[in-house]
Amino acid sequence: MRLPSWCTWLLLLLGPLLSLASASAGEQAQAFFETGNDDSRHTNNWAVLVCSSRYWFNYRHMANTLAMYRTIKRLGIPDSNIILMLADDVACNARNLFPATVYGNNDRRLDLYGDSVEVDYGGYDVTVENFLRLLTGRLDHHVPPNKRLLSDASSNVFIYMTGHGGNEFLKFQDNEEVSAFDIADAVEQMWEKRRYNKLLFMIDTCQANTMYSKFYSPNIIATGSSELGESSLSHHNDMDIGVAVIDGFTHFILDKFEPVNKSSQMTLQDLFDSYDPAAILSHPGVSTDLSRVPPSHILVTDFFGGVAGVEVAPAARGSANSGRGWTAATAGQQRGNRDAKLLRNVDKPNPSSHITLSPPSSLPVRDVVGWVALAGAAAGAYSYIRAL
């Protein structure tokens, strides 16, 4: 059956319009999935700190983790954005000559345990399964918020691990292991589910550099304490405590961070350049192949601090918030974020990252034309069918 001439002309007219509408939808979908790749989207930092060792003689691994915990809290990351996993509680061990304390230096001037440590996973809860579920977000519905990594495509995530390891594995609880492949696949799931913007992986263990050798996801910078075949050695002992109190790699990193504050302009490259194999007694490694941004352009506070810059864009003419200022424009957002676990820390402005608040753009003209074209086609088809 031959279509009437007016239908032919209608189809010829609607063809280009439908193509424009389809192209617009494709561009919007691509922009949605590429949101996590925009550096300007960085608005919050998260940290996962893991001590995977049990037993008193591994005191230094717990001190490593608690010292890192103290540093990132001092630089502004709140407890709500830190997941702390400690496989043992040496502070309450019967052998501890100084009960309820953990020290990372033999002068014992700074108690790392204190009264403000929030342990999210402790003892036998520190397992390979729980660690991988934490990263990927595959947790049971009854797991409370403090045990969840609630990061998103705007989050920079710092993962620190310490314990006993070997070639491409790290032991948990002395009875199971997580492999470099396991962690690489978990991080890939994080990327696919838009659970990070950039990721910094740091590990202090024997043959640590092999643990990041299998990463294949974008926007990752990794560093470890020792090469293949090397041990990661302790820095010094405390004769009263009777064991080593901190590892060399972590000790020198924390020493580098001690003068750093929230407004510091120190970069990750500055940190990596400070590595001294002669002092650490091993050869630390750094991998930046997967990062779009070189470490010389990334501030340490972009991972270790709780800072974010805010840039307020002028309100559009006729906007509901026009002339009412920053307070009115953000009051609704603040009311919606009262849950402390979901609230993102915003502190002193940092010129390296900005959040641009601007009114939503109007619907593109091409989309309007596309919908009108579709409506016209439907009406024409309906009229033709009724005429048959």
For residue 319, being part of any structural domain is answered with no
Q: Mean of the pLDDT values across residues 227-241?
A: 96
* List 42, 61, 206, 235, catalytic entry: 206
164 catalytic, yes or no? yes
* List 164, 283, 297, 354, catalytic entry: 164
Q: Mean of the pLDDT values across residues 374-384?
A: 64
Residue 268, SS3 per DSSP: helix
For residue 25, being part of any structural domain is answered with no
> What residue numbers bound the domain in which 284 lies?
44-304
CA dihedral 346, 347, 350, 353 (to 10 degrees): -10
**Which residues, including other chains, have CB under 8 Å from residue 57's CB and lie 6 or more apart?**
243
Please state, in angstroms and rounded to a whole number, the distance separating the CA atoms of residues 340 and 332.
16
With a cut of 60, say whether residue 274 has pLDDT above it: yes
For residue 6, being part of any structural domain is answered with no
Q: What is the DSSP letter of 130?
A: H
Select from 253, 58, 238, 54 the least CA-distant residue to 158: 253
For residue 238, being part of any structural domain is answered with yes
Q: Cα-atom radius of gyration of the chain, to the nearest Å?
A: 27
What is the per-residue pLDDT across 29-77, written as a single tens digit (0 to 9) for each?
A: 555 455 444 556 899 999 999 999 999 999 999 999 999 999 999 999 9
Stretch among 13-27, 80-94, 243-257, 370-384 having the lowest mean pLDDT = 13-27
For residue 202, being part of any structural domain is answered with yes
For residue 129, being part of any structural domain is answered with yes
Q: For the chain, how many structural domains are there in total? A: 1
For residue 310, being part of any structural domain is answered with no
pTM as predicted: 0.73
206 catalytic, yes or no? yes
Tell me the CATH number at 196. Answer: 3.40.50.1460
For residue 256, being part of any structural domain is answered with yes
